Amino acid sequence: MDKNEIIQRGKDYIAQEKDEHFRREVEELIEKDDMVELEDRFYRNLEFGTGGLRGIIAGGTNRMNPFVINNATQGLADYVIKAKPDKAAEGKLKAVVAFDSRHFSDVFAEATALIFVANGFTTYLFDGMRPTPELSYAIRELGCDTGVVVTASHNPPQYNGYKAYWDNGAQVTPPHDVGIIACVNSVAKVKTISKDEALKSGKLKIIGDEFDQKFQEMIKSQLFRPQLIKEKASEVKVVYTPLHGTGAMHVEKVLGDLGLSVITVPEQREGNGDFPTVDFPNPEVPSALKMAIDLAKKENADVVMATDPDADRFGSAVPDGKGDYVLITGNQMGVLLTDYILLCREELGKMPKNPAVIRSIVTSAMVDRLCEKRGVYLAECLTGFKWIASVTEDFLRTGDHSYVFGYEESYGYTVEAEIRDKDGVSAAALCAEMTLYWRSKGKSLLDRLNELFCEFGYFEDVSISQNFPGNSGTIEMANIMEKLRRDGLKTLAGKKVEKIRDVQESVVFSPENMNEKTEISLPKSNVLQFYLEDGTIVSARPSGTEPKIKFYINCPVQVENGDLAKAKAAAKDFCDKISKEISSVLSASK
């Protein structure tokens, strides 16, 4: 795209952007003749992907701003009207909109709600920032046909995003995702209405405290041992951080109602789109929990909890018995919660017929061993919680299995079927109960995790990611995946690759005979998985929301004679070797 085309795209944007702030940004870039920045902002339209939008907040077609939000919402509204013509004709379509603490989230959310109203939807808009799981719950509870939450989850402060949901409370999946994308790309005119007019029409409804109470009561109803909590709550102290996001209002209230002592990190309690105390507002990043851990040491807390800005992810740390705290990974917490849920259902006679646990394909296979021993079906799905929700829907439709838990390694868990997305609030509540339960048995969460390692093997989980920004980065990522797909990997760190699963091509094959392939039933996705002779699995996938490729290493080592330290050292050493080889592959691509 040459300079004249870029400048023209910039001028076209200025003519259509109604927000002065964003319009002026682009005007100034054109005045300065800043072609590097202009090209990055206008070489493409910010892609409305299968989960919605995510990008840097700024003026331009490749940025997050009211113009891009308006087009996306009009396209989403057009698709819902097309998909549900009878309800549309009767004026019975409904939508709900929520937003987090990020910059312009409230602006983008209000614009979204008003476009829905202008297109005939009765639209519910939260009166302030709310977490993503509450939006998912609201869709089903209010009988909505679609929903949107304005959030960029755990991304840095310069980002914002837009997640689109269907009437089941889950982010959109095929065939709706491609249908919505087609409608977004063909928007000719955006309908809108003023907020005053929308309120007067009765089509815009502001919701708040009353709905929050329903959400909180639903979460408390999922707990297994309310009597234990009532009797023992004073014995457990929780330090919590919402990382400047939406979680405090619900985590504090739910845990407080249960009688638990919750100390929230004061510097991180209030919503703040700058996220001033952390480099990344992501509980997966150890540094994000530093302030909480420091406070926990002062308070002698039993567990540290954290949620990300939209409170769908949950992270934790526990005392190591030596005066410090150890972080619990997403895979480890998933296994602990699975273990506790199955144990409770067995003990309390609440195990449903044909119970099932769902995990993503890049999540540790440790839970597979746990489920096999407990006689519970383990279902795999693609990465992203919408796929866990999709499998849950299949269970409900067919009656073949009963959902008991779903999670993925990236700190996402869903305890309840009422929510079809990951839920950091319910994970916090159940983690608190689990902590109390094992305390009543004379154990810590770390004690129980180590018992599980000794029983099922120690699993070392490592993730590697590399950013590939801009148009050239997109091409580089495609080239890396193409090379891996074409050439495969015969060995990794001296271990033979026994089979390769290519999810995009829906096949499994041996690298020694790449022409003999067995079909698999997973939906197509750009993921490659390499299965090593020792049980290690290495997965490669480009991120669906960020300009990066991610590699996941999942390495099991049997614990011999209870020597957990030896197993950990062996697993770490092997993962380090694999990491170096992967880094070499990525470096060679540049």
203 has pLDDT over 70: yes
Burial of residue 330 (number of CB atoms within 10 Å: 0-12, 13-18, 19+): buried
Q: Are 314 and 292 in contact (CB under 8 A)?
A: no
| pTM for this model (two decimals) | 0.93
In a domain, 3, yes or no: no
Enter the tokens of residue 486: 């074409």
Identify the CA nearest to 227 among candidates 348, 314, 342.
348
Average pLDDT over residues 157-175: 94
What pLDDT, on a 0 to 100 scale, did the predictor assign at position 289?
A: 97
Average pLDDT over residues 207-226: 96
What pLDDT, on a 0 to 100 scale, did the predictor assign at position 511?
A: 85
* Claim to verify: residue 310 and residue 346 sit in the same structural domain: no
Contact partners, residue 565, CB within 8 Å, separation at least 6 = none
Q: Provide DSSP, 504-527.
A: TTTEEEETTEEEEEEE--SPP-S-
pLDDT digits (tens, 9 = 90+) for 338-367: 999 999 999 999 999 999 999 999 999 999
* Claim to verify: residue 511 and residue 573 sit in the same structural domain: yes
Which residue intervals of 375-444 are DSSP H helices? 385-398, 424-440
CATH number of the domain at 582, please. 3.30.310
C-alpha span between 197 and 204 (Å, rounded): 9
- Residue 152: strand, helix, or coil: coil
φ/ψ of 460, rounded to 5, equals -95, 130
261: β partners? 237
Per residue in 301-312, is it b (16+ CB within 10 Å) or e — as a string? bbbbbbbbbbbb
Residue after which a domain boundary falls, among 157, 174, 207 = 207
Sign of the Cα pseudo-torsion (53, 59, 61, 62, in order): negative
What pLDDT, on a 0 to 100 scale, did the predictor assign at position 587?
A: 74
Q: What is the 3-state secondary structure (H, E, C) of 453-504?
A: HHHHCEEEEEEEEEECCHHHHHHHHHHHHHHHHHHCCCEECCEEEEEEEECC
Enter the tokens of residue 364: 């540790």
Per residue in 224-262, is it b (16+ CB within 10 Å) or e — as a string? bbeeebeebbeebbbbbbbbbbbbbbbbbbbbeebebbb
CATH number of the domain at 147, please. 3.40.120.10
Looking at residue 101, its amino acid is S
148: β partners? 97, 164
Number of neighbouring beta carbons within 10 Å of residue 549 = 25
In a domain, 515, yes or no: yes
* Strands 146-150, 94-99: pairing kind: parallel
C-alpha span between 501 and 514 (Å, rounded): 11
What pLDDT, on a 0 to 100 scale, did the predictor assign at position 588?
A: 66
Strands (DSSP E) along 137-256, which ranges?
146-150, 159-166, 204-207, 237-241
280 has pLDDT over 60: yes
For the chain, what percent of residues have pLDDT higher than 90?
A: 84
Q: Which residue has the tokens 């979204």?
A: 112
pLDDT digits (tens, 9 = 90+) for 2-20: 899 999 999 999 999 999 9
* Claim to verify: residue 185 and residue 286 sit in the same structural domain: no
In a domain, 24, yes or no: no
pLDDT digits (tens, 9 = 90+) for 304-332: 999 999 999 999 999 999 999 999 999 99
CA dist 528 to 409, 412, 552, 583, Å? 17, 22, 10, 16
51 has pLDDT over 80: no
522 has pLDDT over 80: yes
Measured at the CA of 181, the angle between CA 481 and CA 409, to 5 degrees, comes to 50
Residue after which a domain boundary falls, among 456, 490, 515 = 456
Catalytic residue numbers, as ranges = 153
Looking at residue 69, its amino acid is I
C-alpha span between 5 and 191 (Å, rounded): 28
Q: Are 256 and 219 in contact (CB under 8 A)?
A: no
394 has pLDDT over 70: yes
Q: Among 171-175, 270-274, 294-298, 437-441, which is the least confidently predicted range?
A: 171-175
106 has pLDDT over 70: yes
Residue after which a domain boundary falls, among 172, 207, 242 = 207
For the chain, what percent of residues have pLDDT higher than 70?
A: 99
* Strands 495-502, 491-492: pairing kind: antiparallel
Average pLDDT over residues 58-73: 96
What pLDDT, on a 0 to 100 scale, did the predictor assign at position 102?
A: 97
C-alpha span between 305 and 249 (Å, rounded): 14
540 has pLDDT over 80: yes
Identify the CA nearest to 408 among candidates 389, 431, 383, 428.
383
Q: Are 316 and 251 in contact (CB under 8 A)?
A: no
* Claim to verify: residue 97 and residue 167 sit in the same structural domain: yes
In a domain, 140, yes or no: yes
Sign of the Cα pseudo-torsion (148, 155, 51, 188, in order): positive
In a domain, 478, yes or no: yes
In a domain, 52, yes or no: no
DSSP letter, residue 384: S
In a domain, 431, yes or no: yes
Which residues span the domain enclosing 371?
A: 331-456
Q: Hey, which of 173-182, 226-235, 443-452 has the most confident mean pLDDT? A: 443-452
* Claim to verify: residue 449 and residue 429 sit in the same structural domain: yes
* Claim to verify: residue 83 and residue 181 sit in the same structural domain: yes
Q: Among 23-27, 205-209, 320-324, 584-588, which is the least confidently predicted range?
A: 584-588
* Claim to verify: residue 353 and residue 231 sit in the same structural domain: no
pLDDT digits (tens, 9 = 90+) for 465-483: 888 877 677 788 888 888 8
* Claim to verify: residue 449 and residue 389 sit in the same structural domain: yes
Strands (DSSP E) along 72-118, which ranges?
94-99
* Claim to verify: residue 283 and residue 319 sit in the same structural domain: yes
* Claim to verify: residue 203 and residue 89 sit in the same structural domain: yes
C-alpha span between 374 and 368 (Å, rounded): 10
C-alpha span between 306 and 269 (Å, rounded): 11
What pLDDT, on a 0 to 100 scale, did the predictor assign at position 87?
A: 97
122 has pLDDT over 80: yes
In a domain, 162, yes or no: yes
Contact partners, residue 575, CB within 8 Å, separation at least 6 = 460, 462, 553, 555
* Claim to verify: residue 120 and residue 144 sit in the same structural domain: yes
Q: Give the chain's domain count.
A: 4
Q: Which residue has the tokens 């929308």?
A: 198
C-alpha span between 404 and 383 (Å, rounded): 19
* Claim to verify: residue 202 and residue 241 sit in the same structural domain: no
| Helices and strands (DSSP H and E) totals, the chain | 20, 23
Average pLDDT over residues 407-418: 94
Mean pLDDT of the chain: 94
111 has pLDDT over 80: yes
Enter the tokens of residue 184: 């977004």
pLDDT digits (tens, 9 = 90+) for 544-579: 667 789 999 999 999 999 999 999 999 999 999 999
204: β partners? 123
What pLDDT, on a 0 to 100 scale, did the predictor assign at position 590?
A: 56
